[in-house]
Amino acid sequence: MTSSFASLTEFRSLLQQMPGVDAEAAEAARAHDSQLTKPPGALGRLEDLAVWYRGWRGGERSEINAPQIIVFAGNHGVAARGVSAFPAAVTEQMVLNFQRGGAAINQIARVNGATLDVVPLALDEPTQDFTKAPAMEEAEFVEALRAGWDAVSETADLLVVGEMGIANTTSAAALACALLGGEAAVWVGRGTGVDDDGLALKTQVIAEGVALHRDSGDGLEILRHLGGRELAAMAGAMARARHLRIPVILDGFICCAAALCLERTAAGALDHAVAGHLSAEGGHGRLLEALDKAPLLSLNLRLGEASGAGLAIGVLKAALACHAGMATFAEAGVSDG
Ligand SMILES: Cc1cc2ncn([C@H]3O[C@H](COP(=O)(O)O)[C@@H](O)[C@H]3O)c2cc1C
Ligand SMILES: O=C(O)c1cccnc1
């Protein structure tokens, strides 16, 4: 069930053998919800979340006790084109910050009772500049997918993946543009805060990369050509979670671009995931529409690091606490109308 893979072909075949939702468990959860002391539907999406979670976990398990957040870090050759407001050295500096507990995600993980793992990926070997060559060779790409796959804890009961990688909003926009079409200008955003000239340059760089690689193959090939190691690792981790029946909360624009690559390779590959939030990065709303997922939160975040999804852990925990802890009409002696 959780065997690893040695090649892209093996990873592809794992994507074709994904377990589905446990329809009986979901049905039992829906039936239980209908007995709880509230007007039907009054807990809105919290009700759907509880049914979704129990459907993926199966059985009676309906508490989150071991959420795992993993932040993957990678460096991008395309950063040398000047597409970020910050230098590439910040990727490694932020990894140290995560390790010392000083980043936003450290605080968000702590208050939501999640473990936080930080996985730097060959930071001293940036990917190739995708305007000139494929970002990754196949062997590097498989290694990054596998780093993600191997980082997921078998005992986690919820997975959130995030990233750190200067210039990765350029990579994410290129992925979305190549897979979903439209002009680069539709997908580009300011990332860390590039100015108008920076935005024009970034749009041009995305368009160049997409023109070079858009016909390179399926979602995984597009990810190899235009992605980065941390995006590949996020995809590998989300696929492993599916095989372990661990539900996933998606983070912002970059995480969702990685998710889209899986979805475009194997339809339904993200059925075990919900969207944690709507990022302020321009194209995220459209990306969520393409994934057919509605965000749980909208807080004007544009950080990444798994921050939006990390915050949504609290919402999901509350949904399950209501589902498991509320009295039924019969238990409480409340008239059910
Ligand atoms: C100090 C700092 C902390 C961050 N944490 C996440 N990001 C975010 O910003 C980067 C993407 O934006 P761009 O494509 O413009 O480089 C990613 O590393 C992302 O995780 C950060 C960026 C900075 C500067
Ligand atoms: O939405 C994101 O993931 C995002 C947006 C801006 C910068 N970094 C990440």
Q: What are phi and psi of 69, to 5 degrees?
A: -110, 130
What lies within 8 Å, CB to CB, of 223 at 6+ separation is: 141, 175, 231, 232, 235, 258, 261
pLDDT tens digit string along 123-173? 999 999 999 999 999 999 999 999 999 999 999 999 999 999 999 999 999
55-64, 108-117, 238-247, 271-280: segment of lowest average pLDDT: 55-64
295 lines ligand 2 (CB under 6 A): no
pLDDT tens digit string along 195-213? 999 999 999 999 999 999 9
Domain coordinates in residue numbering, the chain: 66-319
Residue 59 has pLDDT above 90, yes or no: no
- Rounded to whole angstroms, the Cα distance separating 122 from 166 reads 14
Burial class (CB in 10 A: 0-12, 13-18, 19+), 176: buried
Percent of the chain at pLDDT > 70 equals: 99
For residue 272, report the distance from its CA to the centre of ligand 1, in Å. Answer: 27
For residue 160, report the distance from its CA to the centre of ligand 2, in Å. Answer: 15
Tell me what pLDDT residue 2 has.
59
Can you say how many angstroms the Cα of residue 285 is from the centroid of all Cα atoms in its chain? 14
Residue 61 has pLDDT above 90, yes or no: no
pLDDT tens digit string along 284-293? 999 999 999 9
The catalytic residue among 208, 230, 305, 331 is 305
State the average pLDDT over residues 7-15.
98
Fold held by 66-319: Rossmann fold (3.40.50)
pLDDT band, residue 179 (cuts 50/70/90): very high
Helices 8-15 and 253-265 cross at an angle (nearest 10°) of: 90
Q: Known catalytic residue: 305?
A: yes
pLDDT tens digit string along 23-52? 999 999 999 999 999 999 999 999 999 999
302 Cα nearest atom in ligand 1: 8
281 lines ligand 2 (CB under 6 A): yes
- Which residue ranges have their beta carbon within 6 Å of ligand 1? 84-86, 90, 94, 163-170, 191-192, 303-305
- The closest ligand to the CA of 94 turns out to be 1
- Rounded to whole angstroms, the Cα distance separating 14 from 67 reads 24
323 lines ligand 2 (CB under 6 A): no
162 Cα nearest atom in ligand 2: 3
The strand ranges marked E within 18-89 are: 67-73
